[in-house]
Amino acid sequence: MSELKEFRIGDFPVLAEQRYERRPLSRGYNMRTLKVDVGSRGVEEKPVPEDMKKRFVGGKGFGLKLLWDGTKPSTQWSDPENEIVIAMGPVCGNTNYPGSGKSLVVSLSPMTGIPIDSNVGGYFGPYLKFAGFDALELTGKADRETIVLVDGNEGVVRVLGVPEGLEYDTHLLAEQLTRSLALSPDPADLQAVAVVSAGRGADHSPMGLLNFSLYDKRRGGIRVKQAGRGGIGTVLRDKRIRAVVARYRGVEQDSNGAADPAAVQRIGLKLHREIVKNDDRQCKMRKQGTAHLMEVMNDYDLLPTKNHKYGQDPKGPEIASWVWEKLLTQGKPDGCWFGCTLACAHAVDQFELQTGPYKGQKVCVDGPEYETAAGCGPNLYVYDTHGILEINFYCDTYGIDTISFGTMCSFLMECWELGVLNAERTDGIDLSWGNWQGAAQVLHDMADGKRFGVLAGKGVKYLAEHFAKEYGADAQLMRDIALHGKGLEQSEYISKESLAQQGGYYLTNKGPQHDEAWLIFMDMVNNRIPSFEQKAEALHYFPMFRTWFGLQGLCKLPWNDIEPADNARHPEPNKVPEHVQNYRELYTAITGEGLSPEELILQSERVYNFQRLFNVRQGHGRRAEDRPPYRAMGPVLPDEYLAREERYDKQLREKQGLDPAAMSLEEKLGATRRYRLAQYESLIDAVFKRRGWTADGCPTPEHLREIGMDLPEVLAVAEARIAGKI
């Protein structure tokens, strides 16, 4: 890395400052949140009422509640009153149970116009919590570049100006801020600083992300984890916030104020031991991270290839897990919070960049995780690990979501193949399949806010309409192959052959994202949920169960990327019942409150329905918005059908009673399409019914009362939608 300009704390002009009373956490809660208006430079402490704790629990629940209160039905993402809320949850910050350091970030999304939520590691959330707050609301728009600093040891919040020469791109900015704002160069003081930042790409594209840093003592530098989805980095930069920094030294086993610290130790140690014993025989997360999935997905025809057109390619083994294992630095405890022995946050060190402004420099690349390796790899027909890593690095440092970027770029490449795009329209960038340098150039242009990158960075929803309107592309074809829901690009599994997974992606509150439900194996491979009712039950249980991680400040991965050795013997192995029991015990050990399996789901259900009604309040949340583009449901193009002709012909015979031999290819495509579209509508009916929603996807007042989300303002939104008033 080149020499970075060094700053001292005094180089950052103090624009506003407010001291607060420090007090210890009790049972996982501070019962207080912090609001910073960067426009007025006002700093406000807000108490958490008991009713808010009861109904919204924490984390994403608190985030959505505060965002609802801080915005109006008419609020657009770029309005000053839009907020970024970073909230943690009661379990967050314990150092014993793996995966307990997550922050949940919510905002009105530049991509969808509705609330987005993103789950991210790094030290910021726990430090903010130990500093004394259960959530941080950032609102307003600054009149100059601004930094917000929360110092948990001193008990002060400062709004700072930005000195000349402070970097924008995260790998430099977060390093600079960590070194400048640490109390000393002692590694323990460097580790006490956590930075949230975006990058230049987030200035110019709605798919901007937030990087959450952690100082890695062994590498002697910062690492970053991403709140990737939905453009929250773009909101940060729109507010002219360069970074948000938390400083806290003194993390201890009981910093979270658990009701029963010994029980937290016991439950955590049990999982540590399970991981140490089983991980090598199961997912190898400690060596490969989520990249362990690569060849599995390729083998099962699920690895997105050429814009999700195919799920498999003979080149798959070139980017298999064993290839990544050799590239990822081994033998380091790569957790994104203390005490995570699953340690999946791996990195490639001393990686020499071949393109862009940092060409020739050696950097640390955080990742790749599965979604990045798949979306920026085979989905672009890139099987060159260097290319994937280069895109991974630049997306992170520019503050661009790798999932949206991968899905957007694969759409561009397919448009290139179809002749919709050419060198004239891309400002000379060759977007042939596999040309990672072309993809990287799009990314550099996005960061610079110039040339083709400005258009490309708008995302596939916009691009599909634009290409139809401006370039005369077939509008239906563009809609079919632009993989997004509600404006958010789909994440990276092939959902075509699993109706349940189509629902898992698109019957979601925020758009097609992999954190609500992953039902492909249950549905397609193991055929455990054949009926609509069974699929609907799965699309109730799993999104609700997985929402719970977001209420608590937990990571999903230690739930089922490690399993007890005897898990398969349980009648419902997909739920990993022993781990569900761990979570209930952990919640009780920290909060002191009992939690039945039913109440666990209810906690999520309240917040899930609240989020749905938040969408409704913003003028969305309708059935029509929950429909996938057809590429996510079935074969769009003739060659796509022919590549799996045997499978599709068999389905025509067995599911529709048709004779494919007597049909033209066009007829077969049409019949398949009609059948699958109808199946999806039946799925929506079953799922909405199970969730207690109307046929148009609005939670009913009766259901809201039943689950305890019957706040007057929430009921009013449901009643207004059902009455046709919004």
Partner 1 sequence: MIKYLRTIDEQCVGCMTCAAVCSRLYAKEENPAKARLLVNDLGANSFHLVACDQECRRCVAECPTQAITVAKSGVVMIDKKLCVGCLACVAVCPIGAMRYYPGEKHPFKCVACGACAKACPKQALEIATKDEGEKA
Site of interaction with partner 1 (CB under 8 A) = 95-96, 187-188, 191, 217-218, 251-254, 261-262, 265-266, 268-269, 272-273, 275-276, 331-333, 335, 338-341
SS3 assignment, position 716: helix
Task: State the Rg of the chain over Cα.
Answer: 24
Instruction: Tell me the closest approach of the beta carbon of residue 309 to partner 1, in angstroms.
Output: 42
> For the chain, what is the largest distance between any 2 Cα atoms, rounded to a whole number of angstroms?
80
Q: Which is nearer to partner 1, 85 or 222 (CB)?
A: 222
User: What is the C-alpha to C-alpha distance for residues 588 and 264, in angstroms, rounded to an integer?
Assistant: 9
- Judged by beta carbon, residue 335 or residue 503, the one nearer partner 1 is 335
Secondary structure (H, E, C), 307-331: CCCECCCCCHHHHCHHHHHHHCCCC
Would residue 364 be called left, alpha or beta, if left means φ above 0 and alpha means ψ between -120 and 50 degrees? Answer: beta
- Minimum CB separation of residue 120 from partner 1 in Å reads 18
Q: Which two tokens stand for residue 432?
A: 């042939």
Question: CB of residue 262 vs partner 1: minimum separation in angstroms?
Answer: 4
Task: Single out the residue of 57, 103, 87, 119 nearest to residue 599, CA to CA.
Answer: 57
Which residue, 248 or 505, has its beta carbon nearer to partner 1? Answer: 248
CB of 1 closer than 8 Å to CB of 363 = yes
**Least distance in angstroms from the C-beta of 115 to partner 1:** 33
Q: Which is nearer to partner 1, 277 or 469 (CB)?
A: 277
Between 248 and 610, whose beta carbon lies closer to partner 1? 248
Nearer to partner 1, 185 or 419 (CB): 185
CB closer to partner 1, 268 vs 621: 268
Closest CB 561 distance from partner 1, rounded Å: 17
Distance between CA atoms of residues 347 and 325, nearest Å: 10
- Minimum CB separation of residue 339 from partner 1 in Å reads 3
How does DSSP classify residue 109? Answer: -
Shortest approach of partner 1 to residue 559 CB, angstroms? Answer: 18
The DSSP code for 231 is S
Neighbours of 149 (CB within 10 A): 23
Closest approach of partner 1 to the CB of residue 568, in Å: 23
Contact between residue 504 and residue 495 where contact means Cβ atoms under 8 Å apart: yes
How many Å apart are CA 659 and CA 359, to the nearest integer? 57
Cβ proximity to partner 1, 154 vs 189, nearer residue:
189
- Total H helices, total E strands in the chain: 29, 17
Q: Which is nearer to partner 1, 335 or 635 (CB)?
A: 335
| 238 versus 274: smaller Cβ distance to partner 1 | 274
Q: Using the minimum distance from each CB to partner 1, give the nearer residue, 11 or 189.
A: 189
Q: How far is the CB of 274 from partner 1 (least distance, A)?
A: 9
User: In sequence order, which residues have a C-beta less than 8 Å from that of residue 569 and are 6 or more positions away?
Assistant: none
Q: Which is nearer to partner 1, 95 or 226 (CB)?
A: 95
Using CB atoms within 10 Å of the CB of residue 387, give its burial: 0 to 12 exposed, 13 to 18 middle, 19+ buried: buried
Q: Which is nearer to partner 1, 101 or 621 (CB)?
A: 101
CB of 328 to partner 1, least distance (A): 16
Question: What is the separation of C-alpha 311 from the centre of its chain, rounded to a whole number of angstroms?
Answer: 22
Measured between alpha carbons, how far is 711 from 112 in angstroms, rounded to an integer? Answer: 25
Query: What phi and psi, each to the nearest 5 degrees, are found at residue 664?
Result: -75, 165
Question: What letter represents residue 348's amino acid?
Answer: V
Alpha-carbon span 73 to 124, nearest angstrom: 30
CA 357 to chain centre: 27
The least distance separating partner 1 from the CB of residue 193, rounded to whole angstroms, comes to 14
Return the structure tokens found at 122.
């790094």
* Centroid of chain to Cα 682: 28
**Nearest to partner 1 of 186, 646 (CB atom):** 186
The whole-angstrom distance between residue 395's C-alpha and the CA centroid of its chain comes to: 14
Tokens linked to 503: 């629902």
What is the closest distance, in whole angstroms, from the C-beta atom of residue 89 to partner 1 in the complex?
19
How far is Cα 233 from Cα 205, in angstroms, rounded to an integer?
Answer: 9
Taking a C-beta distance cutoff of 8 angstroms, is the pair 90, 126 a contact? no
Q: 538: part of which helix (H) or strand (E)? A: helix 532-552
Which 3-state string (H, E, C) describes 187-223?
Answer: HHHHCCEEEEECCCHHHHCCCECEEEEEEECCCCEEE
Name the strand (E) or helix (H) holding 236.
Answer: helix 232-238
Quote the least distance from Cβ 579 to partner 1, whole Å: 16
Q: Residue 97 Cβ, how far from partner 1 at the closest point, in Å?
A: 9
